[in-house]
Chain A
Amino acid sequence: MTVAFERPSETPSLDKVGPVLVATGIAVLLLAAILLAAWLTGASGLASDLQARLQPPSFQHLFGTDMFGRDVLARTIKGLALSFRIGFLAAGISVIIATCLAIVAASGSRLADSIVSLLTDMTMGLPHLVLLILISFALGGGTTAVVIAVAVTHWPRLTRILRAEILQVRNADYVAVSRNFGKSRWFIARHHILPHLIPQMIVGFVLLFPHAILHEAGLTFLGFGLEPGKPAIGILLSESMRYLMAGKWWLGLFPGFLLLVAVLCFDVIGNGLRALTDPRGGRS
């Protein structure tokens, strides 16, 4: 979004820590489930059992089974694992891109600043999904294409925040004093500016992560993402579309719900972290 909106000042207080702790707890549970699933269910959970095709949720299969008799819970957790890995990579690359561009933009050259600003406008002027489709089309789909597509579309907001941060710190009195004492540009960058950037980068990463997961799922759902054989959430949901008319609701409900829970958790954690690093709560 091109326009920034100020938020009223709010200070971090105890009643706001509650949701963050709950979210962290659920996130840890999800991560544990993903790690456990790697060796607990192993192949057995994903193995097809044609006798138990399309069974509604039961104690044996909490999320029911799909058209090949595979456990939907196991596939969903596998899907989340895939999503997390892609989201982690994409958000990480996005943060790196944002940092580099912010440094270039704030380097002092007006030309560089306007080029970065034009790039930002271009990325924001295209609907995310259209750009994602284009990039994924250009790279021929697959995991790498999704990671690159999501990474390349998510940097603009963070770039603006980091750029503002650099400009603010650079004009601060203590940096001027440091400069007057004859400290080199490198010293100032290393000791005065970087410590201010790192918290913003971490918050940016945690906030980008759920977005990256959402976009990966959307892209995969539309058929531009991961290959159909993989148990990604987007693929589970697009497969479920074929069985909805037959009343197999569990195929559509549960994978999406777990995705929602994961995204919500990281969103809450990210916002909590932001409130911690920026008590004014000034940036959205």
Chain B
Amino acid sequence: MGSWTAFVLVRLVRLALVLAGVAAVAFLLAKFSPVDPIDAYLGPDIARVGPEQRALIAEKWGLDQPAGVQFVKWFSRILTGDLGWSVTYNAPVADVISERFRSSVVLMGLAWVFSGVIGFSLGIWAGARPGSWSDRVIRLYAYILAATPTFWIAILLLIVFSVGLRWTPVCCAAPIGLLPEDVTLLQRLHHLLLPLVGLSILGIAQIALHTRVKMIEIMQSDFVLYARAQGGTTLDIILHHGVRNTALPAITVLFASLGELFGGSILAETVFSYPGLGSATIEAGIRGDVPLLLAITLMTTLFVSVGNTIADVLYHVADPRISSASETWRGVAE
């Protein structure tokens, strides 16, 4: 099986390969796009710029060189930390991303924690007594939510709580017309509430389903039978055997679901006009802001791949018989 360091090292090399591969593919895709970067840059000024000036811009940006050279230049600049200039926000890409990330990370982090805690509890509750009505309700909830479009949930929340009941604001991360330094924490939380609920609701379903399955497995195990024989109550067994044994798999799922979390936040941020990384992705895509789009792609890949790697390592801790995900599949098949 190899030692721990070797295992982690292999994972890290893989991570680097994945990042390099994604960078190449993303760059190719952006080059392939029919959206001309100079047109996107010029916007309405397009009519006032002659072919000579266009050639000058192309030369300045290095667009007149072959794609391979452009890629190497772009990639080496990324490696030195220079992410380029965002035309949409008229600021360096690194600044845009760090600013957007700060508001997104609150939303995603809280949603992540909530969906973990609530989903885990629901999963334990459902799995402790499979077939009971609480199990049925939780399972039904989870199955339905797994099939629900994220943005539709967000729209429903908006219809009910913002338009119908007027409890929550309709958009943005702060009241309109206030300077950023005047916004109180309470106002921020008030604006965060609905996107947070929308994003958490979906995360909960997945964690709950996985924890439930694991819990049922544990409740049928020999050690639980033995604990029962010793006179342990159900609550005892759930707390001492169930929670301990299901915690690690649940955390693993939580780390593996970072990609879905980010996808969900793109949709939720769009519906609630929340100025985070997700809405910046949409802006970049629609306006053809290639440097920003590529930087976000790389960053989210890093984010999600690190999550996947942690999940892999944790899975290894949880069940040392399995050395990697691919072997799990082989294991299942055998």
Contact between chains at A4 and B151 (CB < 8 Å):
no
B149 touches A218 (CB 8 A): yes
- When distances are taken between beta carbons in the complex, the residues of chain B under 8 Å from A282 are 332
State A165–B334 Cα separation when bound (angstroms).
Answer: 9
Flag if A244 contacts B328 (CB, 8 Å): no
Interface residues of A in 31-46 (CB under 8 A from B): none
Distance between Cα atoms of A138 and B293 in the complex (Å):
12
Q: Distance (Å) between the CB of A244 and the closest chain B CB?
A: 6
Question: Known contacts A122-B21, A124-B259, A138-B33; is A223 also within 8 Å of B282 by CB?
Answer: yes
CA distance A188 to B152 in the complex (A): 48
Judged by a CB distance under 8 angstroms, whether A22 is at the interface is no
User: Considering the complex, which residues of chain A in the window 216-239 have a beta carbon less than 8 Å from any beta carbon of chain B?
Assistant: 217-218, 221-224, 237
List residues 221-274 of chain B with CB under 8 A from any CB of chain A: 249, 252-253, 256-257, 259-260, 262-263, 266-267, 270-271
Min CB gap B260→A, angstroms: 7
Q: Given the complex of chains A and B, what is the CA–CA distance between A136 and B249 in angstroms?
A: 35
Interface residue? A256 (CB, 8 A)? yes
B159 touches A252 (CB 8 A): yes
Q: In the bound complex, what is the Cα–Cα distance between A256 and B271 (angstroms)? A: 14
Name the B residues within 8 Å of A6 (CB-CB): 328, 332
Report the contact-size class of chain B (Cβ under 8 Å from the partner).
Answer: 35 or more
A222–B270 contact, CB under 8 A? Answer: yes
- Are A127 and B260 interface neighbours, CB within 8 A? yes
The reply to whether A244 and B155 form a contact with Cβ atoms under 8 Å apart is yes
Asked if B256 and A1 make an inter-chain contact with CB atoms under 8 angstroms apart, the answer reads: yes
B330 at the interface (CB under 8 A from A): yes
* Chain A interface, DSSP helix/strand/loop, else mixed: helix
B257 to chain A, nearest CB (A): 7
Given contacts A3-B256, A5-B213, A130-B281, is CB(A256)–CB(B29) below 8 Å? Answer: no
Interface residues of B (CB under 8 A from A): 14, 17-19, 21-22, 25-26, 29-30, 32-35, 143-144, 146-152, 155-156, 158-159, 163-164, 170, 210, 213-214, 216-217, 220, 249, 252-253, 256-257, 259-260, 262-263, 266-267, 270-271, 281-282, 285-286, 288, 293, 296-297, 300-301, 304-305, 308, 311-312, 315, 325-326, 328-330, 332-334
* CB<8 Å pairs between A and B, sample of 13: A2-B312, A3-B315, A5-B210, A124-B259, A125-B18, A125-B22, A139-B34, A140-B35, A164-B332, A240-B155, A253-B156, A264-B144, A283-B332
Kindly identify which residue among A3, A224, A263 contacts B253, using a CB–CB cutoff of 8 Å: A3
> Taking the nearest CB of chain B, how far is it from the CB of A192, in angstroms?
15
Could you tell me the distance between the alpha carbons of A111 and B163 in the complex, rounded to whole angstroms?
57
Does A163 lie within 8 Å of B256, measured CB to CB? Answer: no
| A245 at the binding interface (Cβ < 8 Å) | yes
When C-beta atoms are compared, the residue in chain A nearest to B296 turns out to be: A130
